[in-house]
Amino acid sequence: MALEVAVLLSVGRHPASLRGRAAAADARAVELALRLGSRALIRALHAGDPAEPALQDYLGMGLETITVLRQPAGCDVLPALAAHLAFSRPQLILTGVAAETGPGSGMLPYLLADALGAALLANIAELAITGAGIGALQALPRGRRRSVSAALPTLATVSLASPAPRPWAFARARRGRIEVIDLPPGPPVAGDVREQPARPKPRRLKLATAGSAADRLRAATEIQAGRGRLLVDPAPEEAAAAIYDYLLEEGILSPPGKS
């Protein structure tokens, strides 16, 4: 029996041209769902305007249908999505980590999981169906990956570290259909927030607040120097042993036998 997968899609924006397009993280969620192949029955969902041209980008990836819950601009889409998903009860819900437009707080997956009673996997990069539920790799900083698993139903947010979305094809976009469901509009988004253009902030310099004035001056002007162990013309084996021991000592390599 195929697993029912719902993919939540939002409208992204190109960073330079500001034109609407598929959101990068949501397109990756579609890619992960399509990679499940015949083991998954994919339903793509979008809450907003059915005439949105960016939806063609998702159809061009190979989705057959996108279901659009018609909602006016500037209203909270959470009630509509929660109502629809509570009715259709998919076992797995995939979406990007945060929206690319508006104040993308990244709260929607958490509120949805809370409303549907689903487990939540954050920031996943790979996905597999296991016997008991869902196995996934979670993307951690520094390129590390953690294996996690969760029982169904699960909602997973897809990280930008997951595989890049497949290329868009015009014929596939033409073949795809958009189904519209009319739902009552949600409440307007709370308006006590003031928006202003982002000011770039310089990266912080290394701070030296403690110590004497001479120490602070030295910290600000001196070339950053290492601990400075020096081996001059060692035998290659001796040099290799010194490097290996240093890497072990600093915990870069795990001690032999542990891995």
* C-alpha Rg value of the chain to the nearest Å: 25
Is residue 237 at the binding interface for another protein, with CB under 8 A as the rule? yes
Among 19, 64, 114, 177, binds another protein (CB under 8 A): 114
Is residue 140 at the binding interface for another protein, with CB under 8 A as the rule? yes
C-alpha–C-alpha distance, residues 58 and 168, integer Å: 8
What is the size of the binding site for another protein (CB under 8 A)?
82
138 and 123 Cβ atoms separated by less than 8 Å: yes
Is residue 35 at the binding interface for another protein, with CB under 8 A as the rule? no
Q: Which listed range, 3-11, 67-75, 82-90, 101-109, lies at the site for another protein (CB under 8 A)? A: 101-109
Is residue 246 at the binding interface for another protein, with CB under 8 A as the rule? yes
Is residue 166 at the binding interface for another protein, with CB under 8 A as the rule? no
Is residue 173 at the binding interface for another protein, with CB under 8 A as the rule? no
Q: Is 244 exposed, middle or buried (0-12, 13-18, 19+ CB in 10 A)?
A: exposed
50 and 178 Cβ atoms separated by less than 8 Å: yes
Q: Which listed range, 81-89, 166-174, 199-207, 214-222, lies at the site for another protein (CB under 8 A)? A: 199-207
Is residue 37 at the binding interface for another protein, with CB under 8 A as the rule? no
Number of alpha carbons in the 13 Å side-chain half-sphere of residue 126: 9
- The CB-of-89 to another protein minimum distance in angstroms stands at 17
Bridge pairing between strands 65-70 and 40-48: parallel
